[in-house]
């Protein structure tokens, strides 16, 4: 880990923290919520040992990267703009892209907006869902899961202050170590009703790991990451011109069978029934890992590292 280098780069009007290691073709790793560049620590070491240069930024609003104040500064156009700006700042033309959770969502959009910059994509947990011109995302979520669904609750201004009333370390442990695929719910009086259960850290997640994430989130809070969710409907409006567009770059998709995203209504049918391949013509491989939860690249670090290397080595 001490071999990983850190730098700050000015991109798209913000100061971005970037971790990197290795030399060779570039693999850009995009994290999700509530994570940081650190989620890719195992993959960075493995990929760099195979002759690649691994780069993992803290996204806008996360960790040591700047967090603009305006909620509307977190649309997919801003985030993709940050990524393209990062590539330009580093003098990189095309890279291999790897994403997880929100990082997967952003990676789909990178491939939608700027496929010319991507050699191949390995995405995890969140499938590419074509834009439905008739239904806004938040209307769909409320109808499907109710107002307590975490995405819906995140829309409430001030929710981040409610989050801050709960111990950050305990809260993160509960999120990272969740083993059931049910849809997460956040009651209105979250801080008052939050009852943490004692946790035992598994072999794949150490106290040092938890402490690193905790230290960063105690410093920044969760507002930056929550603002991504607040732009769901705005993204839907802004992306109207891409309705019907498809992902044509080479893609490998990986998900755990205990991942909440894999168990969303209709997702399994979409993945295995041909719908996913129809909207992502570049889809070459789908891997469903048994007994694995949402934070798949941390829970199964070696297997995910091997999956990434095996796929990008083809191109």
Q: Which residues are catalytic?
A: 101, 229, 294
Radius of gyration of the chain (CA): 18
The C-alpha atoms of residue 59 and residue 109 are separated, in whole angstroms, by 15
First to last CA, the chain: 28
The helix (run of H) or strand (run of E) holding residue 267 is helix 267-272
Is 189 buried (19+), middle (13-18) or exposed (0-12) by CB count in 10 A?
A: exposed
Residue 53, CA distances (Å) to 20, 27, 56, 107, 222 in order = 7, 6, 10, 18, 30
8-state DSSP, 286: E
Exposure string over 37-58, b if 16+ CB within 10 A, otherwise e: bbbbbbbbbbbbeeebbbbbbb
The C-alpha atoms of residue 106 and residue 103 are separated, in whole angstroms, by 5
């Amino acid at each position: 880990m001490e071999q990983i280098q850190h730098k700050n780069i000015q991109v798209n009007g913000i100061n971005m923290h970037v971790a990197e290691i290795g030399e060779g073709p570039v693999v850009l790793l995009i994290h999700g919520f509530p994570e940081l560049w650190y989620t890719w620590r195992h993959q960075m070491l493995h990929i760099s040992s195979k002759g690649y240069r691994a780069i993992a930024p803290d996204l806008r609003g996360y960790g040591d990267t700047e967090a603009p104040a305006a909620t509307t500064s977190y649309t997919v156009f801003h985030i993709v703009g940050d990524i393209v700006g990062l590539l330009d700042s580093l003098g990189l033309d095309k890279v291999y892209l790897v994403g997880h959770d929100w990082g997967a969502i952003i990676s789909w959009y990178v491939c939608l907006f700027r496929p010319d910059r991507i050699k191949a994509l390995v995405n995890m947990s969140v499938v590419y869902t074509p834009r439905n011109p008739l239904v806004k995302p938040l209307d769909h979520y409320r109808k499907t899961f109710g107002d307590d669904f975490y995405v819906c609750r995140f829309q409430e201004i001030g929710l981040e202050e409610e989050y801050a009333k709960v111990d950050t370390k305990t809260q993160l442990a509960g999120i990272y170590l969740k083993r059931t695929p049910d849809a997460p719910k956040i009651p209105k009086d979250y801080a008052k009703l939050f009852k943490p259960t004692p946790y035992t850290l598994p072999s794949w997640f150490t106290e040092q790991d938890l402490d690193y994430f905790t230290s960063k989130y105690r410093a920044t809070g969760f507002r930056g990451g929550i603002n991504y969710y607040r732009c769901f409907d705005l993204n839907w409006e802004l992306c109207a011109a891409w309705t019907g567009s498809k992902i044509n770059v080479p893609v490998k998709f990986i998900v755990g069978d205990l991942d909440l995203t894999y168990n969303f209504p209709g997702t399994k049918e979409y993945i295995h029934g041909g719908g996913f391949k129809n909207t992502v013509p570049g889809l070459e491989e789908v891997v469903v890992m048994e007994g694995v939860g949402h934070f798949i690249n941390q829970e199964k670090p070696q297997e995910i590292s091997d999956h990434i290397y095996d796929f990008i080595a083809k191109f």
